[in-house]
Amino acid sequence: MLKQPQIFLLMKWGNFFSTTIGKKSMVAASGIFLILFLVVHAGINACIFLNDGGETFNTVASFMSHNWIMRFLELGLFVVLIAHFVQAMIIERKNRAARPVKYHFSQPNKNSKWYSRYMAIFGILILLFLIMHLSQFFIGTKEALYFEGDPYHDLYGEMQEVFSHGWIVALYLVGLIALFWHLLQGFQSAFHTLGLSHKKYAPIIKMMGTWYSVIIILLFALMPLSMYFGWIS
């Protein structure tokens, strides 16, 4: 009888993730997780705007770093973040290899939004920003927790100290701008990659993505700015 065409070995997870679409779906799923994380992060940090000398903020921060569920989730967060970045970079490398000879004259702005084409660049900028950000706040917190006998940790004070330097505030703004464009494209892109495109819901998702990006980034940007300019004390 006739032989059948090649049948992909469907059930093996390795096979599922070996394709570009499989990898990309991981980037999208991890992206959505990170989007949710940013909501929590921004929500907690917004406590500084209560103008209570950082009391509420420090309490919540302390809860986050002591509660074991949160600490477990934090571990997950790092795994997701690394997966997001690594898989995206693997795809980016393949994407770049797909056009070994570049166009000599190209007008990409005629067919796509500029920021949609720079996700990887924004991603790398965000990673660099994160390294700075974590070394400023995260590492110190952990050191205190594990090596210094867990004293009362005045994260609010640390923030005030860090954001008193104009150049750091400027770097934060750069990082946040990169994050803004990354989110503006990434939010709706993630849903598309997960196969969610519906005539009724796609416009809603797109609108949500825009509002989300604007609000989250404004919130984050207000923090260093308001400390630097002393809008909160």
Partner 1 sequence: MRKTFLTTEKYYSMSLNAKIPEGNINQKWENYKGHVKLVNTANKRKIEIVVIGTGLAGASAAATLGELGYKVKAFCFQDSPRRAHSIAAQGGINAAKNYQNDGDSVYRLFYDTVKGGDYRSREANVYRLAEVSANIIDQCVAQGVPFAREYGGLLSNRSFGGVQVQRTFYAAGQTGQQLLLGAYSALERQVALGNVTMYSRHEMLDIVVVDGKARGIIARDLVSGKLERHFGHAVLLCSGGYGNVFYLSTNAMGSNVTAAWKAHKKGAYFANPCYTQIHPTCIPLSGDHQSKLTLMSESLRNDGRIWVPKQKDDPRKGIDIPEDERDYYLERRYPAFGNLVPRDVASRAAKERCDAGYGVGTTKMAVYLDFADAIQRYGHIEAGKHGIHNPSSEEVIKMGREVVAEKYGNLFEMYEKITGENPYERPMRIYPAVHYTMGGLWVDYELQTSVPGLYALGEANFSDHGANRLGASALMQGLADGYFVIPYTVGNYLAGEIGTVPIPTSHEAFEKAENEVSARIEKLMSIKGTESVESFHKRLGKILWNKCGMARNEQGLKEAIEEVRALREEFWNNVRIPGDINSFNNELDKAGRVADFMELGELMCLDALDRKESCGAHFREESQTPDGEAKRDDSHFSYVAAWEFKGGNNWELHKEDLVFDEIHLTQRSYK
Partner 2 sequence: MEHYNMNLTLKVWRQKNSDTKGHFETFKVGDISSEMSFLEMFDVLNERLVSENKEPVAFDHDCREGICGACSMYIDGEPHGPWAKTTTCQLHMRAFKDGDTIVVEPWRSKAFPVIKDLMVDRSAFDRIIQAGGFVSVNTGNAVDANSLPIVRYKAEEAFNSAACIGCGACVAACKNGSAMLFVGAKVSQLAMLPQGDPERTTRVLNMVAQMDKEGFGNCSNTYACEAECPKGISVANIARLNHEYLRAGLCSEEGDL
Would you tell me which residues interact with partner 2 (CB under 8 A)? 5-12, 15-16, 19-25, 91, 94-108, 110-113, 116-117, 119, 185, 188-189, 192-197, 202
End-to-end CA gap in the chain: 82
Residue 144 site contact among partner 2, partner 1, none (CB < 5 to 8 Å, cut-off depends on kind): none
Q: How many residues of this chain bind partner 1 (CB under 8 A)?
A: 4
SS3 letters across 122-150: HHHHHHHHHHHHHHHHHHHHHHHHHHCCC
Report in angstroms the alpha-carbon separations of 24 from 31, 48, 173, 207.
Answer: 10, 37, 29, 23
Q: Minimum distance between the CB of residue 101 and partner 2, rounded to whole angstroms?
A: 5
Q: Minimum distance between the CB of residue 203 and partner 2, rounded to whole angstroms?
A: 12
What is the pattern of x (binds partner 1, CB under 8 A) and - over residues 16-45? ------------------------------
Q: Minimum distance between the CB of residue 104 and partner 1, rounded to whole angstroms?
A: 22
Out of 4, 109, 111, 233, the only residue in the binding site for partner 1 (CB under 8 A) is: 4
Contact 185, 119 (CB under 8 A): yes
CA–CA distance, 208 with 231 (Å, rounded to integer): 29
Rg (CA), the chain: 21
Positions in the binding site for partner 1 (CB under 8 A): 2-5
